[in-house]
Chains A and B, each alone.
Chain A
Amino acid sequence: MNNILGLFRKSGNQLETGGSAGLQPADTRQCPSCKCYETKAAIRKNKSVCPHCGYHYRIGARHRIRMIADPNSFCELFDNVRPQDSLRFPNYAQKLQNAAEATGETEAVVCGTASIDGQPCALFVMDARFIMGSMGSAVGERIARLFEYAAAQQLPVIGFTASGGARMQEGILSLMQMAKVSGAVGRHSEAGGLYVTVLTDPTTGGVTASFAMQGDIILAEPKALVGFAGKRVIEQTTKRRLPADFQSAEFMLQHGFIDAIVPRARLRETLAGLLRLHAGKEAR
């Protein structure tokens, strides 16, 4: 999509290695929001949220699953669906290999089943570290299969989005994944299935314009970037600077596009509560 440009803010790591790096011990991190230093261990213990200001660090898919699912309940599905460089796009094969080595993942989404406080569900978690969490054929296929599986097994789906949009290295095939996944979401919905999306930083482009916005209930983490077009593209189009809170989760809540903002510390109990509510009396 046009919006891959200018989407990704500098990560926390950049600050870590930036100007004051010489003074900074290796096991601490400077918060990109409040600039406080904190040990990595303390941040991790606080669910990768800054203990001072509540800034939510981006986290990888496995880290997220450990945070949300009951211990040892996650069973991965469809990880045998792997990306390929079918259009032989410049540097894409290398990019896939680099992303795999850097993250230990084979694609930008991890799918499976799990329980959350005893409530069974199907789960997909996107990983923004893998080529900006972009959606190519394999990402679309994994998520579509998960919805089909969940419809057949009568499982609710919880989806964590984190993506820059479509993966341009797969050309038009990546755009079509938006329609493919939308179809699978619709069928799961028609079968009566619950779909809860959790929009995490950043959720943009083709993912926003498809399954991120198709949940029965749409949650977001505080301050997550959520939007369709990239900020830089909008500024180029309109020749005006955008307000600082533009396209934040708070902006989306204010304009009526999400149901609630839930801090990471309360996500697990919130999701468990929703699953229980939709499971009926016996689950109470």
Chain B
Amino acid sequence: MAAYQKLKAARANDRPTASAYIRQLFENTLELHGDRKFGDDPAMLGGVGWLGDLPVTYIAIEKGDSTQERIRRNFGCPKPEGYRKALRLMQQAEKFHRPVVCLVDTSGAYCGEDAEQRGQGQAIADNLLQMMRLQTPVISVVIGEGGSGGALGIAVADRVYMLENAVYSVISPEGCASIIWKDAGMVAQAAEHLRITAADMVELGVAERVIPENFEQFDQMCEQLKNQLLSDFAALSALPAEQMLQQRYARFRSIGQYQETENA
């Protein structure tokens, strides 16, 4: 059950969380807070800094790396104000022609009463609409879990990278197992059938690159990731904005598998 092993690896408590990547990838960072509408979501981080010689904006879902931090970060489940903060910072990046790096690690957007009252659906919907036409390059990296709409809310990007053991799924395999087999114990089968692995993402056109993991030599791993980001940003920034948006649209437009019968 390869998919299930990866699911467990992606969720492992000792796996580096977003803050570790931010410290390693970027220099001279300043974290920027708040959505300017309601509050500041600790599950969604954002800020500015340098990726090598390139000024960038970063957005990241942070799960927390200790029990206390996990509680403070709401276990990496962002609320509407988190998605709105992300969008605010992306639109600021657009104004100053800064590329955007999004680090995705969430089991999903927060499912709570307050999140519904403040429009979780509307917040994500707005991000999808605005990210699709954001006139600056965006690269999203799934560093752990890519949980459904909560992940997609910061992953409408020009390129999507998957870490080697990261997963990306429309529904949690647990949720799927209990619906399909009425048995949460069928998680491994569900994970397999849902096609959640990095290799699946590349095969299905959802991701472009798989980033090898090497947490023992995390600095080296991040150096490689940084070089990959810089090289893709260089290519994307060379395109006229219209062409970049056209390619971003075409990227998502082509995802999906269906039949097309003759008679229209």
A81 to chain B, nearest CB (A): 5
Q: Is the CB of B115 within 8 A of A178?
A: no
- Looking at A79, A175, A257, the one whose CB has the most chain B CB atoms below 10 A away is A175
A interface, over-half SS: helix
CA A198 to CA B160, docked complex, whole Å: 33
Q: Is the CB of A257 within 8 A of B119?
A: yes
Residues in chain B near residue A4, CB distance under 8 A:
171, 175, 179
Residues in chain A near residue B168, CB distance under 8 A:
172
CA A166 to CA B110, docked complex, whole Å: 17
CA A275 to CA B260, docked complex, whole Å: 32
Contact residues, A144-180 vs B (CB, 8 A): 144, 166, 168, 170-180
CA A185 to CA B132, docked complex, whole Å: 10
Is B193 interfacial (CB 8 A cutoff)?
yes
Contact residues, A44-81 vs B (CB, 8 A): 77-81
- Chain B, interface residues (CB within 8 Å), range: 35 or more
Known contacts A84-B259, A171-B200; can you find 17 more A-B pairs with CB under 8 A? A3-B111, A4-B175, A80-B260, A136-B258, A138-B256, A172-B168, A172-B206, A174-B170, A177-B255, A177-B256, A179-B152, A183-B249, A209-B128, A213-B125, A228-B121, A240-B113, A247-B116
Q: Is the CB of B169 within 8 A of A171?
A: yes
Q: Is the CB of A242 within 8 A of B113?
A: yes
Total number of A residues with any Cβ neighbor in B under 8 Å = 68
Q: Is the CB of B125 within 8 A of A214?
A: yes
Residues in chain A near residue B196, CB distance under 8 A:
171-172
Within 8 Å by CB of A238, from B112, B176, B253, B255, lies: B112
Is A234 interfacial (CB 8 A cutoff)?
yes
A108 to chain B, nearest CB (A): 13
- Looking at B172, B176, B258, the one whose CB has the most chain A CB atoms below 10 A away is B258
Within 8 Å by CB of B180, from A90, A174, A228, A255, lies: A90
Q: Is the CB of A209 within 8 A of B121?
A: yes
Q: Whose C-beta in chain A lies nearest to the C-beta of B157? A: A179
Q: Whose C-beta in chain A lies nearest to the C-beta of B114? A: A238
Contact residues, A78-97 vs B (CB, 8 A): 78-84, 86-87, 89-91
Known: A81-B258, A82-B260, A137-B256. A1 touches B149 (CB 8 A): yes
Is A237 interfacial (CB 8 A cutoff)?
yes
Is A227 interfacial (CB 8 A cutoff)?
yes
Contact residues, A166-204 vs B (CB, 8 A): 166, 168, 170-180, 182-187, 190
- Looking at A90, A172, A210, A240, the one whose CB has the most chain B CB atoms below 10 A away is A172
Is A130 interfacial (CB 8 A cutoff)?
no
10 nearest interchain CB pairs? A137-B256, A208-B121, A229-B111, A228-B121, A182-B128, A213-B125, A86-B257, A209-B124, A138-B258, A175-B170
Within 8 Å by CB of B132, from A90, A173, A177, A182, lies: A182
Chain B 147-179, CB-CB to A under 8 Å as 1, else 0, gives 111001100100000000000111110011011
Q: Is the CB of B132 within 8 A of A82?
A: no
Q: Whose C-beta in chain A lies nearest to the C-beta of B253? A: A180
Q: Is the CB of B171 within 8 A of A166?
A: yes
A179 to chain B, nearest CB (A): 5
A258 to chain B, nearest CB (A): 9
Is A141 interfacial (CB 8 A cutoff)?
yes
Q: Is the CB of A173 within 8 A of B256?
A: yes
Is A222 interfacial (CB 8 A cutoff)?
no
B254 to chain A, nearest CB (A): 9
Q: Is the CB of A175 within 8 A of B152?
A: yes
Residues in chain B near residue A168, CB distance under 8 A:
170-171, 176, 179-180, 194
